[in-house]
């Protein structure tokens, strides 16, 4: 399929038709292709061609396009939901996981299967190449498109089924944290409603796949050459020394001497939003709860090179309406403000991990997108004397440029046992 749509002279419907036919040829001698229960797939694809973005959607996928000032455009194929409407309504009744519910879903599947790939029914990529001719296709002015998401219905349900996110919030999640975070947040929501009382559905979880694209980003012509060049020019790592101490100077608090000279390269952004799925339980809030988010890009003041991204998350009940929610938090920053409002003395703990960067993180830190440079991630938890978490700081930096180092102290138990022959 990738080879087919790479040829701009081949229309997307024709590419899908050809792909179905070629898959049929691969299985014709070993599979019964004329059976009704053959494997089938939905399809969604986009392609840049000249000054337009072409798209194709077949069956229950969702294409989300961010058109900037023109808002969000979604393209969906809902024909599978429009057939067997009585059976579908019945299948959405009652708690999932019961024999009665399973029987209603089975009846729905039987009726839908009888209407698959035929006029008056719905269309899906199975063994009939003619299904490609029924796909929804179109074009959008390429200059208007900023970003796009290609989603199966299992990945779009936070918006179109659960109403837990808007399309704008879904795109923001994909842009900043990637598809894995979207799917993780979807699974969390599903687990919070295991039998479908709040959000009626056919089963607790559905297959979820998501692809995110930033339109207009250059694609290297020879990523292999770039990989070789980066290996030859790999920078010497700087050691971030975690001495298990916190320092303070005239600019505020810092946690390692290497970062003392760094400054905020841009005015810090302050906004209200949701904490990443993996940090919500650390902060002690529910997934989707609104929190205060403070973002800073720290770097070398002389070169202007970004060295680290630092994001602080604070519970809304202690930050709303305070100086914590202002751009300028004053001398000593948020930690002086927290200690000045009854959380003194603060304590900190820290964990170190790694993950791959989002496209936005890679761009800000100047990381290549084709050679897999991970982020070094330091998550610092700030607690009050009562034990309440009052801030979680998520710091990210290039694992190619930095490493974490610390001294190892010898415990009293880690000593060579003395013997009677020891003279000292």
Q: In which band, very low, low, confident or very high, does the pLDDT at 263 lie, cut at 50, 70 and 90?
A: confident
Q: What is the mean pLDDT of the chain?
A: 86
DSSP 119-181: TTSB--BSS-GGGGGGSEEEEEEGGG--EEEEEEHHHHHHHHTS-SS-HHHHHHHHHHH-HHH
Burial (CB < 10 A; 0-12, 13-18, 19+), residue 292, is: buried
Mean pLDDT of 46-60: 94
| 195 or 132, which is more confident | 132
- Judged against a pLDDT cut of 70, whether residue 244 lies above it is answered with no
pLDDT of residue 383: 97
Return the structure tokens found at 157.
């349900």
Q: In which band, very low, low, confident or very high, does the pLDDT at 126 lie, cut at 50, 70 and 90?
A: confident
pLDDT of residue 141: 95
- The backbone region for 185, taken as left when phi is positive above 0, alpha when psi lies in -120 to 50, beta otherwise, is alpha
pLDDT of residue 238: 64
Q: pLDDT tens-digit profile of 156-203? A: 999 999 998 899 999 988 988 889 889 988 988 888 888 888 888 888
pLDDT of residue 294: 97
Q: Taking the model in full, what pTM does it have? A: 0.59
Q: Which domains are delineated in the chain?
A: 2-214 (3.60.40), 228-405 (3.40.1410.10)
H or E element: which one contains 269? strand 269-274
- Judged against a pLDDT cut of 50, whether residue 50 lies above it is answered with yes
Say if residues 282 and 377 touch (Cβ distance below 8 Å): no
Q: pLDDT tens-digit profile of 359-370? A: 788 889 988 765
Rounded distance between C-alpha atoms, residue 206 and residue 360, angstroms: 28
- Judged against a pLDDT cut of 90, whether residue 209 lies above it is answered with yes
Mean pLDDT of 301-319: 94
- Judged against a pLDDT cut of 60, whether residue 389 lies above it is answered with yes
- Judged against a pLDDT cut of 80, whether residue 37 lies above it is answered with no
pLDDT of residue 138: 96
């Amino acid at each position: 399929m990738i080879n087919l749509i790479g040829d701009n002279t081949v229309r997307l419907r024709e590419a899908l038709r050809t792909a179905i036919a070629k898959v049929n040829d691969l299985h014709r001698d070993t599979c019964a292709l004329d059976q009704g229960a053959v494997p089938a797939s939905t399809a969604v694809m986009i392609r840049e061609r000249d000054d337009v973005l072409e798209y194709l959607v077949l069956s229950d996928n969702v294409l989300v396009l961010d058109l900037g000032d023109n808002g969000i455009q979604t393209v969906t194929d809902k024909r599978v939901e429009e057939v067997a409407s009585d059976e579908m309504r019945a299948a959405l009744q009652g708690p999932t996981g019961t024999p009665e519910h399973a029987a209603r879903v089975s009846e729905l599947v039987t009726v839908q299967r009888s209407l698959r790939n035929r006029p008056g029914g719905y269309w899906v990529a199975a063994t009939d190449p003619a299904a490609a001719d029924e796909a929804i296709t179109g074009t959008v002015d390429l200059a208007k498109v900023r970003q796009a998401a290609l989603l199966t219905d299992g990945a779009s349900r936070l918006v179109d089924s659960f109403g837990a996110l808007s399309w704008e919030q879904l795109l923001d999640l994909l842009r900043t944290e990637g598809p894995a975070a979207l799917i993780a947040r979807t699974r969390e929501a599903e687990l919070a409603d295991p039998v479908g009382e709040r959000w009626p559905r056919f089963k607790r979880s559905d297959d979820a796949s998501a692809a995110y694209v930033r339109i207009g980003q250059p694609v290297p012509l020879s990523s292999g050459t770039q990989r070789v060049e980066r290996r030859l020019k790999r920078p010497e790592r700087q050691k971030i020394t975690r001495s298990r101490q916190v320092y303070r100077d005239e600019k505020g608090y810092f946690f390692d001497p290497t970062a003392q000279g760094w400054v905020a390269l841009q005015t810090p952004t302050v906004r209200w939003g949701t904490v990443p799925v993996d940090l919500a339980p650390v902060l002690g809030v529910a997934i989707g709860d609104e929190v205060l988010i403070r973002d800073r890009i720290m770097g070398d003041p002389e070169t202007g090179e970004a060295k680290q991204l630092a994001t602080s998350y604070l519970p809304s009940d202690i930050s709303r309406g305070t100086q914590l929610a202002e751009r300028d938090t004053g001398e000593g920053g948020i930690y002086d403000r927290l200690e000045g409002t009854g959380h003194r003395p603060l304590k900190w703990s820290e964990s170190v991990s790694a993950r791959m960067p989002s496209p936005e993180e890679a761009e800000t830190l100047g990381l290549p997108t084709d050679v897999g440079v991970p982020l070094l991630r330091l998550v610092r938890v700030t607690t009050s004397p009562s034990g309440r978490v009052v801030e979680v700081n998520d710091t990210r930096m290039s694992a190619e440029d930095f490493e974490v180092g610390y001294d190892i102290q010898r415990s009293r138990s880690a000593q060579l046992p003395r013997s009677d022959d020891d003279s000292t």
